[in-house]
Copies of this chain bind each other. A is one copy, B any other.
């Protein structure tokens, strides 16, 4: 297996981009990544996108986008694992370079979600749940995560204030990220006073509906060192993928996210790393409870300690292990197919020392954790300065 590096990253602003199409935002991010890499040709393009058929009436997306980029002819593959589609695009590109089938891969994620009305967006997102056992009975994602929150609260004593602390931290980080959808300082009181969406989750516990795209260029570590010049080369040392029953009714234990735990274990094993080795982490905070549960599942904290850790500032930018320095899905926004790639981009920025005001000093090992549905799939990557 060949060693694989990230040699270019690119993303535009996340938000409600009414004036731009899916094609436009994707091409902008792809060009930014290729320019950053100093690469003009690639052997493969991977596209993570959850539901372009439902959101914008377009499947066959990877070929379409290759052509939009002026690269008609270049092999291109769309992958989907609901909100973990971006992470899967990264995994797919990693396997191609690692195997030697491709030398250079453009890994991308995109979703255009604001071009449909609210009910249609909720339906499209709902197809990430088990439709026969969940969706067709009326439950949507805030409700599914609210049930996970209730169980976590009952079993571990997690509080609404602890969940609010996640939102406060991520919005504080988002203020420092020019690409974030929201530049909005919020307080614990703001979160607790926001509209109830699905008890106990309030509006400020939820990530938004977002348009956005993100891209990165992978190649061999050898070629990356030639291309990078004086900049640090970031190597992907671990890649772990796992699933769980996507319907909550079939899960063994609703107080932990089994797919996240398994994906992280696989990534740690491949990288020869453990949670204590990490300097910076991005997790999939589609709801505040998700950040609490994922930080436990990837082993940063014992089970039940995720809430107190957030409340005590352990995961803040100045804390013991900074989590979601990008602002996370909560503040940066959550264009579902793009999220996994954007998470990896934040880790690369941190490891390169290019994260600006949100830079974690001396960061050399980072982890990005992407998740589909209510934890039905998860993909974890570990990256390190080569």
Contacts and interface: CB of A to CB of B under 8 A. Distances in A.
A155 to B, nearest CB: 21
Contacts of A80: 59-62, 78-80
B262 A73 contact: yes
Contacts of A50: 59
B82 A59 contact: yes
A128 B59 contact: yes
A241 B44 contact: yes
A139 to B, nearest CB: 14
A269 interface: no
A65 B296 CA distance: 27
Q: How many copies make up the complex? A: 2
Interface stretch (A129-137, A192-200, A349-357): A129-137
Interface string A241-267: 111111100100000001100110000
Contact of A53 (B53, B60, B79): B53
Nearest to A377: B63
A131 B58 contact: yes
A63 B75 contact: no
Interface string A87-114: 0100110111011110000000000000
A277 B292 CA distance: 58
B243 A74 contact: yes
A162 interface: no
A51 interface: yes
Contact of A377 (B21, B53, B60, B91): B60
A294 interface: no
A92 B56 CA distance: 26
Contacts of A302: none
Contacts of A81: 60, 62-63, 76-78
A376 B60 contact: yes
A334 to B, nearest CB: 15
Contacts of A75: 241-243, 263
A372 interface: yes
Given A64-B376, A79-B78, A58 B243 contact: no
A63 B243 CA distance: 6
Contacts of A96: 95, 99
A386 interface: no
A304 B107 CA distance: 38
A100 B243 contact: no
B98 A244 contact: no
A67 B262 contact: no
A228 to B, nearest CB: 23
Given A76-B377, A98-B100, A100-B1, A246 B67 contact: yes
Given A1-B100, A54-B53, A81-B78, A246 B135 contact: no
**Nearest 10 CB-CB pairs, A to B?**
A99-B99, A75-B241, A60-B82, A59-B127, A63-B376, A63-B243, A98-B99, A60-B128, A67-B245, A63-B377
Interface of A: 1, 21, 44, 50-54, 56-64, 66-67, 71-82, 88, 91-92, 94-96, 98-101, 124, 127-132, 135-136, 239, 241-247, 250, 258-259, 262-263, 372-373, 376-377
13 contacts: A1-B100, A51-B59, A57-B131, A57-B135, A60-B81, A60-B129, A73-B242, A73-B259, A76-B243, A77-B92, A94-B101, A95-B95, A98-B101
Given A56-B131, A60-B129, A72-B245, 12 more contacts: A54-B54, A54-B59, A67-B250, A72-B243, A76-B243, A77-B88, A77-B241, A78-B81, A92-B92, A95-B95, A99-B99, A101-B239
